[in-house]
């Protein structure tokens, strides 16, 4: 059996009640493995939030362990023995005073997901998704990935003792290809994008019983990612920021944060105006931004997707309509930045604040600067940039090498 999170307080239970389709309203029982709704939409977990509101005060969270399982009541895993954990969540929320001054943002923050197991926030989704699969008796998993999800799910599947088949683009970051292999996933590369990997995984599904764990094709990954929203609120003492900037590929994290805001309101944990949710994509793959600008409810498949921010290379997201709703309903916006801006922002943040973030997180930093310059943000707005992963996973993006000294050499000018 896998180790479980120690219960430090009274036994906790999940208030999970059912699954619901956000498009057609269909309701399904939550205690069998499920993929998408009959109408093709992702399914979302619903909880008995009235009972949770009566049974759980936010102050009760204070003494709990520093990982995402502190929110067990609003997570879908019912049996603590099914929890598969590597210590994910409860990541640092860091002020960025020096960078903020430079951008003209007095209250700029970084939620640093690079501190998660496997180095990205994909660990949150994998921890909850794999735990729930284990709990529901799933015997094997399959998924396409742009890279980091494959690495994370491979690690958690290994910890759960579940076999996993994963397919990713041939040019996914080297670390993603290797971390999946190292942790024992049955790993394949395709000369194409995540959408091509998805087609291969779907064909494999026709002759395999392995459960389809692709982005938003099962309802539990998003439950892990929504805990970023809970943490931002709790770490700010339940005072919400004015905006959260999120680098979106499939958009699971932003839909999850939006869902967390709705749940926390129903729980009576937060009040007042919701943060504006801002989506950033790369110029070379901007289907959500285009849809937002056109006023459309859904995105078009983006042809020829290309960006060095591999996690953003998702030409069409299953949950696009939910991302667009989240952005519009909160008065947010969507914008695209260039790869050059991403690389600049990565270097700037590293030098100014000591944080070496992934290119996706750097895109969100670049967006903060742009939105201040355009007047979308005021100087005193509290803005949170979500850094989705550590820059340590992308060493190939840094080409500068320090000068070599002769053994009897001297440091210049010293
Ligand atoms: C997957 C990924 C993203 C995009 O996340 P979605 O939830 O698919 O929008 C952003 N950054 C990194 C580092 C990722 O791995
Ligand atoms: Zn439906």
Model pLDDT for residues 374-412, shown as the tens digit of each residue: 999 999 999 999 999 999 999 988 888 899 999 999 999
Ligand 1 contact, 14 CB (< 6 A): no
How high is the pLDDT of residue 3?
47
How high is the pLDDT of residue 414?
67
Nearest ligand to residue 43 Cα? 2
How high is the pLDDT of residue 321?
98
Ligand 1 midpoint to CA 334 (Å): 16
Closest ligand 1 atom to Cα of 323: 9
How high is the pLDDT of residue 56?
93
How high is the pLDDT of residue 399?
82
Q: Is 10 left (phi over 0), alpha (psi -120 to 50) or beta?
A: beta
How high is the pLDDT of residue 11?
55
Nearest ligand to residue 251 Cα? 1
Ligand 1 contact, 249 CB (< 6 A): yes
Name the burial class of residue 96, with classes exposed (0-12), middle (13-18) and buried (19+) by CB atoms within 10 angstroms of its CB. Answer: buried
Other Cβ atoms within 10 Å of 39 Cβ, number: 10
> Does residue 327 register a pLDDT over 50?
yes
> Does residue 6 register a pLDDT over 70?
no
What is the separation of C-alpha 200 from the centre of its chain, rounded to a whole number of angstroms?
A: 24
Where do the domains of the chain lie, and which CATH numbers do they carry?
A: 93-119+222-391 (3.40.50.1100)
Question: What average pLDDT does the segment 218-222 reach?
Answer: 97
Confidence of residue 12 (pLDDT cuts 50, 70, 90): confident
Q: Please state, for a pLDDT cut of 90, what percent of the chain lies above it.
A: 94
Closest ligand 1 atom to Cα of 256: 7
Question: Could you tell me which residue, 245 or 9, shows the higher pLDDT?
Answer: 245
In sequence order, what are the residues at sequence separation of 6 or more whose Cβ sits closer than 8 angstroms to the Cβ of residue 191? 169, 170
Instruction: Reduce the DSSP state of residue 183 to 3 states and report it.
Output: coil
Question: What average pLDDT does the segment 118-143 reach?
Answer: 98
In sequence order, what are the residues at sequence separation of 6 or more whose Cβ sits closer than 8 angstroms to the Cβ of residue 320? 251, 287, 288, 291, 298, 299
Q: Please state, for a pLDDT cut of 70, what percent of the chain lies above it.
A: 97
Question: What average pLDDT does the segment 55-76 reach?
Answer: 96
How high is the pLDDT of residue 9?
44
- Helix or strand run (H / E) with residue 72: none
How high is the pLDDT of residue 400?
82
Distance (Å) of CA 258 to CA 223, 330, 331, 332, 375: 11, 9, 12, 12, 24
Q: Is 137 left (phi over 0), alpha (psi -120 to 50) or beta?
A: left
Residue 233 main-chain phi, psi, to 5 deg: -65, -50
How high is the pLDDT of residue 297?
97
Ligand 1 midpoint to CA 9 (Å): 33
Among 112, 119, 121, which residue has the most ligand 1 atoms within 8 Å of its CB, making it the best to mutate? 121
Among 115, 120, 194, which residue has the most ligand 1 atoms within 8 Å of its CB, making it the best to mutate? 120
> Does residue 243 register a pLDDT over 60?
yes
Mean per-residue pLDDT over the chain, rounded: 95
How high is the pLDDT of residue 35?
96
Ligand 1 contact, 247 CB (< 6 A): yes
Can you give the pTM of this predicted structure? 0.95
Question: What residues pair up with 214 in beta bridges, in sequence order?
Answer: none
76-126 pLDDT tens trace: 999 999 999 999 999 999 999 999 999 999 999 999 999 999 999 999 999
Query: Helical H runs in 89-220?
Result: 97-103, 122-135, 148-160, 174-182, 194-205
Nearest ligand to residue 24 Cα? 2
Residues 118-139 as b/e (b if ≥16 CB within 10 A, e otherwise) read bbbbbbbbbbbbbbbbbbbebe
Residue nearest to atom 10 of ligand 1 (CA): 311
Question: What average pLDDT does the segment 200-227 reach?
Answer: 96
How high is the pLDDT of residue 398?
84
Inter-residue contact 232 to 93 (CB < 8 Å): yes
Ligand 1 midpoint to CA 143 (Å): 15
> Does residue 4 register a pLDDT over 80?
no
142-195 pLDDT tens trace: 999 999 999 999 999 999 999 999 999 999 999 999 999 999 999 999 999 999
259-299 pLDDT tens trace: 999 999 999 999 999 999 999 999 999 999 999 999 999 99
């Amino acid at each position: 059996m896998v180790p479980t999170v120690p219960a430090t307080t009274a036994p906790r239970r999940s208030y999970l009640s059912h699954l619901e389709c956000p498009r057609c309203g269909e309701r399904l029982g939550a205690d069998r493995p499920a993929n998408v709704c009959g109408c093709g939409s992702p399914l979302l977990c619903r909880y008995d939030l009235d009972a949770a509101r009566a049974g759980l005060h936010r102050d009760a969270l204070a003494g709990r362990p520093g990982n995402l399982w502190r929110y067990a009541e609003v997570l879908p895993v019912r049996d603590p023995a099914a929890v598969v954990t590597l210590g994910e969540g409860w990541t640092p929320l860091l002020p960025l005073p020096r960078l903020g001054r430079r951008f003209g943002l007095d209250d700029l923050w970084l939620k640093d997901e690079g501190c998660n197991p496997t180095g990205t926030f994909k660990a949150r989704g994998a921890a909850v998704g794999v735990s729930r699969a284990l709990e529901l008796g799933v015997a094997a998993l399959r998924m396409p990935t742009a890279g980091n999800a494959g690495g994370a799910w491979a690690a958690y599947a290994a910890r759960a003792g579940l076999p996993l088949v994963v397919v990713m683009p041939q040019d996914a970051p080297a670390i993603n290809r290797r971390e999946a292999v190292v942790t024992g996933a049955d790993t394949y590369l395709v000369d194409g994008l995540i959408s091509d990997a998805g087609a291969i995984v779907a064909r494999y599904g026709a002759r395999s019983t392995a459960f389809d764990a692709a982005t938003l094709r099962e309802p539990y990954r998003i439950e892990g990612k929504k805990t970023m929203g809970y943490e931002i609120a709790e770490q700010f003492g339940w005072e919400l920021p004015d905006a959260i900037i999120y680098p979106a590929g499939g958009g699971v994290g932003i839909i999850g944060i939006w869902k967390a805001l709705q749940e926390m309101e129903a729980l009576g944990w937060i009040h007042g105006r919701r943060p504006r949710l801002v989506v950033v994509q790369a110029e070379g793959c901007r289907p959500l931004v285009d849809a937002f600008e056109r006023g459309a409810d859904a995105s078009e498949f983006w042809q020829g997707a290309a960006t060095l921010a591999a996690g953003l290379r998702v030409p069409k997201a299953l949950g696009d309509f939910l991302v667009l709703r989240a952005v519009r309903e909160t008065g947010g916006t969507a914008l695209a930045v260039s790869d050059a801006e991403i690389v600049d922002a990565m270097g700037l943040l590293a030098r100014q604040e000591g944080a070496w973030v992934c290119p996706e997180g750097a895109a969100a930093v670049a967006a903060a600067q742009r939105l201040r310059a355009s007047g979308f943000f005021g100087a005193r707005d509290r803005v949170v940039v979500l850094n989705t992963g550590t820059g340590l996973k992308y060493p190939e993006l840094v080409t500068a090498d320090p000068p070599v000294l002769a053994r009897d050499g001297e440091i210049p000018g010293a």
